[in-house]
């Protein structure tokens, strides 16, 4: 089976082909880079409109090559379904991706699969690790939460009470005049910095980043070297995420943790999670960076699982949802499993 995945919730216009038999994933992406400031929804949508046709064309060319290799007929569409990210994300971007996916599925005469972007961040880690039923820490730009499987759904065990973790870091870096995205710059600067104390905000299973960001901006304005603030920022934020991840493991009785989302590319976060898991005898898996940041590979892989479970969507019911929460998704592809 070969699935075309299309992703475009915010900054990455991305298309992928997942061939299930060989577990082969091809990804073509084109990133939006703001000239200044953060992600501007209108500019991101303009980028999406320009880039999506090209990344899809490249992915379809690849699917055709795979079909040729397999000796399939030229009349075949080369793919068995189109999977697309329905949300959560920026409405203007999602609408472009939804339109492209519906058009393509209709034209090729293949089923359409609507994928929740945050569930896909989890499923790619579960797929690649071979873990049975892990807890997932999604540390991405616009989100931060812990997911665990129970009763046929991915339940949100803990989450941010205000901004996503990457967006919080990006707001700080905008304040100090660094270009978007800020996460990699904070990671590099933190290597030369000494820890600065910042507020640590965990309430039960939830966490908050807005106070830390204000304190970090204030510390820089008060003359603290930016490298020191970056070191404090990483240690504080990642310790909060690690604490709640550990509590989620304890709560669910699970001994498997997977990481998802663009902030998961940070080596210090991976180190802290890995040490925590080792200390409690749990297994930890972080996908390759190309599967952590927004990418259509995770949409194609999740779409394949949904297709196999018959979880397709009619075109007239396939509206996008900018606020699509992971716990709204019936996990059809795991039905029958104990939770």
Query: Within a 10 A sphere around the Cβ of 329, how many other Cβ atoms?
Result: 20
Select 152 or 184, whichever has its Cβ closest to ligand ATP: 184
In three-state form (DSSP H/G/I as H, E/B as E, the rest C), the secondary structure along the chain is CEEEEEECCCCEEEEEEEECCCCEEEEEEEECCCCCCCCCHHHHHHHHHHHHHHHHHHHHHHHHHHHHHCCCCCCCCCCCEEEEEEECCCHHHHHHHHHHHHHHHHHHCCCEEEEEHHHHHHHHHHHHHCCCCCEEEEECCCCEEEEEEECCEEEEEEEECCCCHHHHHHHHHHHCCCCCCCHHHHHHHHCCCCCCCCCCCEECCEECCHHHHHHHHHHHHCCCCHHHHHHHHHHHHHHHHHHHHHHHHHHHCCCEEEEECHHHHCHHHHHHHHHHHHHHCCEEECCCHHHHCCCHHHHHHHHHHHHHCCCCCCHHHCCCCCCCCHHHCCCHHHCCCCC
In the complex, what is the shortest distance from the CB of residue 295 to ligand ATP, in angstroms, rounded to a whole number?
A: 8
Select 51 or 66, whichever has its Cβ closest to ligand ATP: 51
Select 77 or 262, whichever has its Cβ closest to ligand ATP: 262
Select 45 or 142, whichever has its Cβ closest to ligand ATP: 142
Select 64 or 174, whichever has its Cβ closest to ligand ATP: 174
The torsion angles phi and psi of 51, rounded to 5 degrees, stand at -85, -30
Select 60 or 229, whichever has its Cβ closest to ligand ATP: 229
In the complex, what is the shortest distance from the CB of residue 110 to ligand ATP, in angstroms, rounded to a whole number?
A: 26
In the complex, what is the shortest distance from the CB of residue 229 to ligand ATP, in angstroms, rounded to a whole number?
A: 15
- Count how many Cα atoms sit within 13 Å of the Cα of residue 199 in the half-sphere of its side chain: 16
Q: How far apart are CA 240 and CA 213, in angstroms?
A: 14
Residues 6+ apart with CB under 8 A from 221: none
Select 2 or 121, whichever has its Cβ closest to ligand ATP: 121
CB 240 within 8 A of CB 201: yes
Select 173 or 312, whichever has its Cβ closest to ligand ATP: 173
Select 186 or 215, whichever has its Cβ closest to ligand ATP: 186
CB 8 within 8 A of CB 94: yes
The residues of the shown chain that bind ligand ATP, judged by CB under 6 A, are 9-11, 89, 117, 140-143, 164, 166-167, 169-170, 181-184, 187, 261-263, 265-266, 293-294
């Amino acid at each position: 089976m070969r699935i075309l995945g299309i992703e475009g919730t915010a900054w990455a216009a991305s298309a992928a082909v997942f061939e299930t038999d060989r577990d082969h994933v091809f990804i073509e992406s084109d990133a939006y880079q703001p000239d200044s400031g953060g992600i501007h929804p209108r500019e991101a949508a303009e980028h999406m409109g320009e880039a999506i046709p090209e990344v899809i064309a490249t992915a379809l060319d690849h699917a055709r090559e795979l079909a040729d290799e397999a000796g399939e007929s030229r009349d075949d569409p080369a793919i068995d379904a189109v999977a697309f990210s329905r949300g959560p994300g920026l409405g203007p971007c999602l609408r472009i991706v939804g339109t492209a996916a519906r058009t393509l599925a209709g034209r090729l005469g293949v089923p359409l699969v609507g994928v929740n972007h945050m569930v896909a961040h989890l499923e790619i880690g579960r797929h690649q690790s071979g873990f049975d039923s892990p807890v997932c820490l999604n540390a991405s730009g616009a989100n931060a939460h812990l997911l665990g499987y129970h009763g046929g759904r991915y339940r949100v065990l803990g989450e941010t009470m205000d901004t996503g973790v990457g967006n919080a870091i990006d707001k700080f870096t905008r304040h100090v005049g660094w270009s978007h995205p800020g996460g990699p710059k904070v990671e590099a600067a933190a290597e030369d910095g000494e820890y600065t104390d910042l507020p640590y905000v965990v309430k039960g299973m939830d966490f908050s980043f807005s106070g830390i960001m204000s304190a970090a901006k204030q510390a820089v304005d008060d003359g603290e070297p930016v490298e020191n603030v970056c070191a404090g920022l990483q240690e504080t934020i990642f310790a909060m995420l690690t604490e709640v991840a550990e509590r989620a493991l304890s709560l669910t009785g699970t001994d498997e943790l997977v990481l998802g989302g663009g902030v998961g590319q940070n080596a210090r976060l991976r180190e802290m999670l890995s040490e925590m898991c080792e200390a409690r005898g749990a297994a930890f898996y972080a996908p390759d960076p190309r599967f952590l940041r927004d990418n259509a590979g995770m949409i194609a892989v999740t779409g394949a699982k949904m297709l196999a479970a018959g979880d397709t969507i009619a075109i007239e019911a396939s509206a996008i949802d900018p606020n699509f929460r992971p716990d709204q998704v019936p996990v059809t592809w795991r039905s029958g499993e104990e939770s």
